[in-house]
Amino acid sequence: MTLWRSRTVPAAIWGLLLAFAVLQASIWILTGGIPRGPAVLIQVIAAWTVMIILATLATMRLGVLSTRIAQAEHAHRVTLDEVEELQTRNAMLGIAARSVDVPLAFQALAGRISRLVPCDRVGLALLSDNGEEFQTFTARTDDEERRTRARPEVTFKTERSALGAVVRSCEPLIIEDTAERSPDLLDLNVIQTAGFTSVLIVPLVARGRAVGTLNVVSRRRNAFDQRHINVLVPIAELFAITYIAQQLQIALGRHRSLEAMLELTASTATEINSALQAIIGHCDLLERGYPDPGLQRDLATVVRQAQRIEGLLEKMRAVAQERLKVVSDGEIPASPEAYGGQGPAGT
């Protein structure tokens, strides 16, 4: 808009000046030619000199004003982009504070991400626990196509995929034309088949560990550059932290369930063992009081089965204690930082 004004207004000034010159020449032709009087010529020359000087000064002034307006508009756009980026981070933190659900946070923020980095689709790929494959989610940028909740779509192996290459290197990757590399990489082949040409993949890195990628795709060639990487890297870091917090929450939930199971196993084993001891004691009293061989055989069978159950309970207690020792030795992390240092780093 500023560029249009900077070119249109000076052109209008000089156009009016030219039109006035044509009008004056036409009047002179109709009235018999250029006036011969020296006074009239001096007035005409002086008037045209003043008009040309004023037109020149006006054009220069308009150029300066247009430059200042353009700079102000650029600074305003930069400020708006920064505000939008900060709002996106704040929204991410708010969602993470309410629920560490990465797919839900991703779906909620997809629209903001597409405004920060113009694209046709926003994608999220999360690395599995074994580090061998990705579970991918896709969010449409068009409001009419958006879903309430992101659903897992295609699963890709880390080998022979651009996602795996980014996770291994922990560095962003820009692909200007998917057709050039789609024959070698399965995920790019899928993207290229879907009609997308440009791809930007940013790793989700927390404490030096990549746990997935944040992806944007476009149907235009050369749609992404370093500026877009700079915008997405902080958002990707927040996604990585949220994902680690989600995994930690799952691990802690399993830990609590295991503790509850261990407590239930111990209390149940104690109760059953008490009952078994009572059974064995009564069998011993019966065996002493009634010397009948048949009864003693039956009592001996009951005692053997009770002792067998007692042995099984002891094995259960041993396995539970061993499992609890494994948990206490650090299998379940005590903090997100501890969790971030585990797993297949850089796989």
* Residue 93 covered by a domain: no
- Maximum average pLDDT range among 15-29, 114-128, 251-265: 114-128
Q: Where is the domain boundary, 217, 248, 279?
A: 248
Q: Do 206 and 123 share a structural domain?
A: yes
Domain co-membership, 269 together with 304: yes
| Same domain for 32 and 151 | no
In terms of domains, do 297 and 191 share one?
A: no
Q: What is the pLDDT of residue 146?
A: 52
Owning domain of residue 318: 249-340
Same domain, 29 and 80: yes
Using CA atoms, how far apart are residues 319 and 327, in angstroms rounded to an integer? 12
Last residue of one domain, picked from the residues 229, 248, 267 = 248
Same domain as 221, residue 294: no
CATH for 136: 3.30.450.40
Residue recorded with tokens 């196993």: 265
User: Residues of the chain with pLDDT > 90: what percent?
Assistant: 12
- Residues 260, 205: one domain? no
Closest to 170 (Cα-Cα) out of 133, 207, 116, 140: 207
Same domain, 23 and 51: yes
- In terms of domains, do 280 and 229 share one? no
Q: How are beta strands 152-157 and 133-140 bridged, if at all?
A: antiparallel
pLDDT of 336 strictly over 50: no
Helix (H) / strand (E) element for 77: namely helix 38-98
Share of the chain above pLDDT 70, in %: 79
Is 294 contained in some domain? yes
Mean pLDDT for 140-146 is 58
Question: Residues 79, 107: one domain?
Answer: no
Instruction: Tell me the CA distances in angstroms from 12 to 26, 48, 49, 67, 230, one per residue in order.
Output: 21, 17, 18, 18, 42
Does 183 share its domain with 111?
Answer: yes
Q: Is residue 319 part of a domain?
A: yes
Distance CA(53)–CA(297), nearest Å, equals 130
The residue ranking higher by pLDDT, 314 or 5, is 314
- pLDDT tens digit string along 219-228? 998 899 998 9
**Higher per-residue pLDDT: 295 or 95:** 295
pLDDT at 23: 79
Domain boundary, last residue among 248, 282, 307: 248
114 part of a folded domain = yes
Any domain includes 91: no
| Phi, psi torsion values for 153, nearest 5 degrees | -115, -100
In a domain, 30, yes or no: yes
Q: How many CA atoms lie within 13 A of 195 on its CB side?
A: 4
CA–CA distance, 222 with 171 (Å, rounded to integer):
19
Our count of domains for the chain comes to 3
> 171 pLDDT band (50/70/90 cuts)?
very high
Question: If you average pLDDT over residues 306-330, what whole number do you get?
Answer: 74
346 inside domain: no
Provide the 3-class DSSP secondary structure of residue 200: strand
Give the number of residues written for the chain.
347
Bridge partner residues of 209 (DSSP): 206
Is residue 90 a part of any domain in this protein?
no
- Whether residue 112 is found in the same domain as residue 236: yes
pLDDT at 3 over 60: no
Instruction: Please write the tens of the pLDDT for every residue from 93-113.
Output: 666 556 567 887 788 788 888
